[in-house]
Amino acid sequence: MERCRSPLSDPLLGSAPQMASKKRTGAELDSKRAAKRRADVTKGSAGEKLILALTALGLTQNESRAYLAILSTNDATASEAAANAGVPRPKIYEALANLESRGFCRSVGGQVRRYAAVDPESALRNWIRHREEERKILADRDAAHVELLVRLLPRPEQFPAVEIPDFMEAVSGRLPTTAVLEEVIASSRESLHEMLQPPFLQPRARWNTQEIEAIGRGVDVRVIYTPDGIEDAQRYLPLLEAGGQVRVIDRLPMKLLIKDDDEALISLRDANTGAQSVTTARVRHADLVAPMEALFKRVWRKAKPIPGATAAERKAASAGDRAE
């Protein structure tokens, strides 16, 4: 007679106790695998990125490391959390207490408490809401302080606005520089002193036209050229004929125009190549222009009248030197 088979046993699966044991073993393996995955995420370079993100949200380094340590295990004591987080034992209690007060973990137990992490989504969203409420409270408090200070602090004495003159200006480009050059020459009333050398900004047809007009207004016009600047007689002859004074020197320290001892234009060289550029510094102050006028007079005394100038022109130039 066939023995009755127990309904709690199965030739393939085994008895009920055996099946229960297998389920427990499988659950334990799943739990260990999950713990390992959590541990992997919270360590190494990935863990450092998580710590940076948590500290950006307001947690301290110790709190961030402690949260990741207990998140990687089901739960942990303070000493276990300290070991896993790499946080000194005296500091771990403060970090865990702060995490619990901020909703990142819960503690259970009596004398030896164990700490379990709160699900990150829940913990982080609640923490962000708390931070927003804190910021609003701080903003309201700051606004109240501002209102109080505005009401109580004395007002400074009101002084009339003082316009600060623009003593220096940079002008760049051929057309803007030419426009400023002609504007300054046209405004001259007493003196116009120039040190010139190629390249020249103005087209040949406009050479000396405004200087000759200035001479007609009684302006003292003096120009010093380098030899290559007078290769074309049109550059200087009309000035001499109109009553201007012209001299030549082998080398000039700079290209310079001084008007009425109170305004100057300095043609700047390229800082890298030393070549003459189309950038000009415009200076508007007598104290700043005075050293440039002294430089012009020193170069003027060293310069010579242009070869071929008339005897009268040479005599006038000598008389001018003695007067200085």
Q: Tell me what the mean pLDDT of segment 135-160 comes to.
A: 88
Instruction: Answer for the pair 225, 204: CB distance below 8 angstroms, yes or no.
Output: no
Instruction: Answer for the pair 66, 92: CB distance below 8 angstroms, yes or no.
Output: yes
Question: pLDDT-derived band of residue 245, with 50, 70 and 90 as boundaries?
Answer: very high
Segment 124-139, tens digit of pLDDT: 999 999 999 999 999 9
Instruction: Count each helix (H run) and each strand (E run) in the chain, helices first.
Output: 11, 13
Q: Which segment of 39-53, 87-101, 176-190, 236-250 scores lowest on mean pLDDT?
A: 39-53
Q: Tell me what the mean pLDDT of segment 264-292 comes to.
A: 85
Q: Tell me what the mean pLDDT of segment 215-219 comes to.
A: 93
Q: Is the dihedral of CA 57, 62, 67, 69 positive or negative?
A: positive
The predicted pLDDT at position 7 comes to: 47
Question: pLDDT-derived band of residue 174, with 50, 70 and 90 as boundaries?
Answer: confident
Select the more confidently predicted residue: 206 or 190. 190
pTM: 0.47
Using CA atoms, how far residue 107 sits from 58, 77, 110, 115, 195, in Å, is: 22, 9, 10, 4, 88
Question: pLDDT-derived band of residue 2, with 50, 70 and 90 as boundaries?
Answer: very low
Segment 254-263, tens digit of pLDDT: 999 999 999 9
Question: pLDDT-derived band of residue 173, with 50, 70 and 90 as boundaries?
Answer: confident
Q: Is it the case that residue 321 has pLDDT exceeding 60?
A: no
Sheet-wide strand order for 105-108: 76-77, 114-117, 105-108
Percent of the chain with pLDDT over 70: 78
Percent of the chain with pLDDT over 90: 49
Q: Is it the case that residue 1 has pLDDT exceeding 80?
A: no
Map out the domains of the chain with their CATH numbers.
15-118 (1.10.10.10), 168-323 (3.30.870.10)
The predicted pLDDT at position 14 comes to: 54
Q: Tell me what the mean pLDDT of segment 248-276 comes to.
A: 87
Q: Is it the case that residue 153 has pLDDT exceeding 60?
A: yes
Query: Can you tell me the distance from the alpha carbon of 198 to that of 225, in angstroms, rounded to the nearest whole number?
Result: 9
Q: Which segment of 38-52, 54-68, 144-158, 194-208 scores lowest on mean pLDDT?
A: 38-52
Q: Is it the case that residue 40 has pLDDT exceeding 60?
A: no
Arithmetic mean of pLDDT over the chain: 82
CA atoms within 13 A on the CB side of 270: 7
220-225 and 114-117 strand pairing: unpaired
Query: Can you tell me the distance from the alpha carbon of 51 to that of 85, in angstroms, rounded to the nearest whole number?
Result: 11
Question: pLDDT-derived band of residue 207, with 50, 70 and 90 as boundaries?
Answer: confident
Q: Is it the case that residue 170 has pLDDT exceeding 90?
A: no
Question: pLDDT-derived band of residue 9, with 50, 70 and 90 as boundaries?
Answer: low
Select the more confidently predicted residue: 279 or 276. 279
Q: Is it the case that residue 269 has pLDDT exceeding 50?
A: yes
